[in-house]
Amino acid sequence: MPSSHRVVIAVFPDVDLLDVTGPAEVFSLANRETGGRAGYEVRLAGPVAGEVRTSAGVRLLTDMAFDDVGGHVDTLLVPGAVDMTDEGPLPRIDGTVVEWVRETAPHARRVASVCVGAHVLAAAGLLDGKTATTHWSTAAQLAADHPDVTVDPDPIFVRADRGRLWTGAGISACLDLSLALVAEDLGEQTALAVARQLVMYLKRQGGQSQFSVPLSRPAASRREIDELRLWIAEHLDEDLSAHALATRMCLSERHFARVFKQETGTSPAAYVEAARTEVARRLLETTDCALDQVATAAGFGSVETLHRAFRRQLATTPAAYRRRFRTQAA
């Protein structure tokens, strides 16, 4: 990594505040953790030099105008902004920002977007033929507007083009993306040290889902179903068959299955398997437990059942998942 690692973050009216300040804080902490050896130099650039009002109402002061950035940019970071409409959030695509990104990107060692900033990269033509992610709420629009981009709405960030191009989900995932950039520059130990300073529970890897199983399902209109979902999460090593759950709800098995699917969008068996798979994933990421121990702790009962669930849920094996997402801190 160069001794002076110049990070330029684009800012513009109504930009999401955390998209800007989150990465800046990560790079600042990396400097502190290495006694300044990291060499990160963060600069904010806007359409004009001066004050910029963010979506949170907090005002930022840019270091320079786009025209003054010059040629040397090690990391170009593009955050996002949204306009709220009756149809939901609409990513803001500012022509001035898009044109500047298109002109600046070829001179940067790597380019990264945060949240709906991926829409700006796509508009600049940087994502054509590549896989990218963005905030889950605008992923369908990104795919529709840019059919040449392979949009994956699930990961918290995607690394493409041999590490030259990164796209991140929103909004707190900007921290995970920034930590991954630090890990690429300085190694996992420094990135983990920064994560500890941020009091992050885990430095998440890019392929992890934006949502846990409970968050990925809509809230039920029936309170007892939401209470059952919480109970399931706390009793994954017990009998969670449809019959057992129906008995707990004092319903017939057939009626229970119909109500559960109506409220959650999935069958009881599929929901339980997804919840158990999530626990197994966390154990594979953060512990050295043998596969039989992981299977028991997650409620699968056997390694064979664990394997079948991983193939259905993640299209991979537990061992392959561990190799990819195992954290050094475990």
Sign, CA torsion 67/69/73/77:
negative
Q: In a 3-state reduction of DSSP, which class is residue 213? A: helix
Task: Judge contact between 158 and 294, C-beta under 8 A.
Answer: no
Structure tokens at 203: 């430095």
Interatomic CA distance for residues 261 and 269, integer angstroms: 10
Angle at 191 between CA 178 and CA 295, to 5 degrees: 100
Task: Judge contact between 80 and 19, C-beta under 8 A.
Answer: yes
Task: Judge contact between 150 and 131, C-beta under 8 A.
Answer: yes
* Catalytic, out of 115, 174, 250, 289: 115
Task: Judge contact between 18 and 177, C-beta under 8 A.
Answer: no
Query: What residue spans of the chain are helical by DSSP H?
Result: 17-33, 95-104, 117-123, 139-145, 173-186, 188-197, 213-216, 223-234, 242-249, 253-264, 268-286, 291-298, 303-314, 318-325
**Main-chain dihedrals φ then ψ at residue 24, nearest 5 degrees:** -60, -40
Interatomic CA distance for residues 245 and 122, integer angstroms: 46
155 to each of 35, 55, 118, 205, how far by Cα in Å? 32, 25, 13, 9
Angle at 172 between CA 168 and CA 175, to 5 degrees: 70
| Catalytic site includes residue 115 | yes
Active site residues: 115
